[in-house]
Each structure stands twice: as C-alpha cells, then as structure tokens.
Amino acid sequence: MAKATDRQPDGAERPLRLSVLDQSPVPEGSNGGSALRNSVDLATLTDRFGYDRYWVAEHHGTPALACTSPEVLIGLIGAATDRIRVGSGGVMLPHYSPLKVAETFGMLSGLFPGRVDLGIGRAAGTDRATAFALQRDRRHAPPDDFPEQLDELLRYASGRDQPDQRFARHVVLPGRPHAPEPWLLGSSHQSAVWAAERGLPYVFADFINPHGAEIAAMYRERFVPSARLNSPRVVVAGWAVCAETDDEAERLASSFRMLMTLMHRGQLIPVPPPEKALAFLREEEGRLGAAMSLHRRLVVGSPPVVRAGIESLAREYRAEEVMLVNILYDHAARRRSYELIAEAFDLSDARRGAGVSMA
C-alpha cells in the first residue's frame, strides 16, 4: 500500500503524521475508573502502532467523559509507553494558576524528557455552573484575561523568557533542563490570532468547527517566528471511526450521534450501546436534521474510506498532522479502529523506515 504524504510549502513530500486525542469515554454501565484505564491501554497500543502523539482532554461535569485532570492521566500514560509523545488536549487554562500549570508540566517533562506536550485551551470544558464551581474565588466572575494568562505560562514553561520579576525568585521548575512543548488549541479566529502572534504551533478542532480551513490559513499569514518555532505549524483534530465495513463503522458511530443529539437538548448521559443508539435514532429520524444542524464532520467507514477522509481533511487544512478522536461504546472497537487506521496508513512501516524502533 502506498504511503500517505503531505506536500510541504516548498513542494517536497513528507509522510502524513497521525496522532490521537482521547476524551476517555465512559460507556453506559461502566465507570470512570474503567474509562481511564482504557485510555492507558489505548495509549500503549497506539504507541506500538506508530502514532506520533497521544493527548488527553479535560472535561468536567459530564457522565460521558472521565478525564477531569489531564496531568494525572499523562503521568500514567507516559510511564506505560516508550516512544509516543504525551500531552494535554488541552489544559483549560482559565481554571488555573499559570505557575501551577508550569510546575506540573515541568515535573512531567523531567519524568519523560523530550516527550511532553502542553496543549493549552481557553474553553471551560464544561457548563457555566460547573465552571463557577471550579473557581477558587466565587465572590465575582473571573477576569477575561486569557492572553495575559497564556503569556505568563509561556514565560514560565519555556525556560527561554524571564518570568514576571515579582515572582522570578520563587519559580523553581523541577523538570529543568527539560520543558514541555507548548501548543495552542482552538476552534475560532481568535485562537488562531493568539497562536500566530506568539509563534506557537496551532491545533484546530475540526471535530467542533468543520469550517476552519480559512482560520488555519489566517494563522499562517499572520504567523510571527519565535524562539519556539520558525514557521507556522498546523495540526487538525478530526473525528474518525474505522471498522472492517462501512455498515459496522456507522453502527459504532451511532453511539456518538445519540450522545450529541441529547447533549444539545441539555441531557447528559454516558455513552450508549449501539443497539440502544440505533433504536433512538430511528425514533428521532424526523427530528434528527434539526438536532444535528451543527454539521459536525464525521469520517466514518472502512479503512479505504477513512484513509481518504483523513487525507482530504489534511489537504483542506494544509496540515502536516491529523489528530484523531472518537467516542465509542466498546473499548475493543476503539482499539480496532485505531489499529485499522494505522494499517491503512502503514504507520509501523513508516516508523521503521525512519529508523525508529518499534520494540
């Protein structure tokens, strides 16, 4: 099978890199502990299959997603894997002190040198009431100062810039000389502007907003080279489910469709089994068009179909890497989905050809 490639601005071709964004789905009838252990298991599998990085997301207040603390899960995944980069997709910075985030990811960098990514997001990762409950000071609304938070965190985490002089003598990051690689996550024009102005690599969440190609283009146009990065770097995160047949992949994806339909009605549930989801969707067929009017892009099908969809997504964003996310009821089906995609793209062969050990 031919290798998938991505064309660089100078016309040269390079292999398309694939990575994983894991939201730690909680199946109906299971629990958060099992979901988190499944995440560690999936990380070890994708490490062997040749995926580039494994990021875990932060969510609060939902029975469907288990990871409320990415840094805890990153530590477990880093210890269980050998090669794959590990990181956050992302840390929702408005909830936290920039110094505390820098200290945490500094520790992770010391434990897993050269393998830690610090993906940073602005969203709350939850509803307003839960976000308020997460606040330390509830006497008033938190300030809308994300750019200032981001700049402070970057000064601490980079090891290149001087931190705020008020705090400089108090900043001791235990992972030095190692430091995490910072990334900015987003699904809007504003996040692209912030990433470009600071010379940060940028991850666009197409699985949230499937109209981001022009935003990625704007990021490239406005990019200012920095000590971190000489030229713009775009990763697109997209939703993908792969199975042996198109019909089986659609069956598996029904769980997510039901979950999202109910979520947009304000009903939060664990991930339903496909049989329950299919029955629900049949009953809702007359209303489903309105419920799914967000037009989320779902790449669903057999290996050739999913490979073509992923390559199309990469071309649309001119991305050198695609980060794959899915929410499935059955953990074995999630494992198999990522396995089939790795086989479709010959990820293991590409790793061996690059001289990377697959042991």
pLDDT in tens, 130-149: 666 667 666 777 777 889 99
Beta-bridge partner residues of 91:
120
Q: Residue 71 has what pLDDT?
A: 96
Residue 91 φ/ψ region, left for φ over 0, alpha for ψ in the -120 to 50 degree band, beta for the rest: beta
Q: Residue 350 has what pLDDT?
A: 56
* 160-167 long-range Cβ contacts below 8 angstroms, 24+ apart: 160/227, 160/228, 167/99
What is the rounded average pLDDT of the residues 170-198?
91
Q: Residue 145 has what pLDDT?
A: 83
Average pLDDT over the chain reads 87
Architecture of domain 5-353: Alpha-Beta Barrel (3.20)
Q: Residue 199 has what pLDDT?
A: 97
User: 22 — phi, psi (to 5°)?
Assistant: -110, 125
Q: Which residue has the higher pLDDT, 174 or 14?
A: 174
The confidence band for 9, taking pLDDT boundaries of 50, 70 and 90, is very low
Classify burial at 144, counting beta carbons within 10 Å of its beta carbon; exposed 0-12, middle 13-18, buried 19 or more.
exposed
Least confident of 39-53, 160-174, 302-316: 160-174
Q: Residue 41 has what pLDDT?
A: 98
What is the rounded average pLDDT of the residues 112-117?
96
Cis status of the peptide bond prior to 142, with omega within 30 of 0: no
Classify burial at 175, counting beta carbons within 10 Å of its beta carbon; exposed 0-12, middle 13-18, buried 19 or more.
buried
* Tokens describing residue 357: 């050990």
The confidence band for 176, taking pLDDT boundaries of 50, 70 and 90, is confident
Element holding 325 (H helix, E strand): strand 321-325
Q: Residue 157 has what pLDDT?
A: 80
Q: Residue 74 has what pLDDT?
A: 98
Q: Residue 102 has what pLDDT?
A: 93
Q: Residue 167 has what pLDDT?
A: 57
Q: Where are the domains of the chain?
A: 5-353
Q: What is the pLDDT of residues 148-164, one digit of tens each?
A: 999 999 988 865 545 55
List Cβ neighbours of 208 (8 Å cut-off, separation of 6 or more): 187, 296
Q: Residue 285 has what pLDDT?
A: 79
Least confident of 3-7, 248-252, 319-323: 3-7
Residue 216 φ/ψ region, left for φ over 0, alpha for ψ in the -120 to 50 degree band, beta for the rest: alpha
List Cβ neighbours of 302 (8 Å cut-off, separation of 6 or more): 242, 243, 244, 245, 246, 249
Q: What is the pLDDT of residues 298-350, one digit of tens each?
A: 999 999 999 999 999 999 999 999 999 999 999 999 999 999 999 999 997 65
Tokens 């969707």 belong to 281
Q: Residue 124 has what pLDDT?
A: 60
pTM above 0.85, yes or no: yes
What is the rounded average pLDDT of the residues 206-224?
96
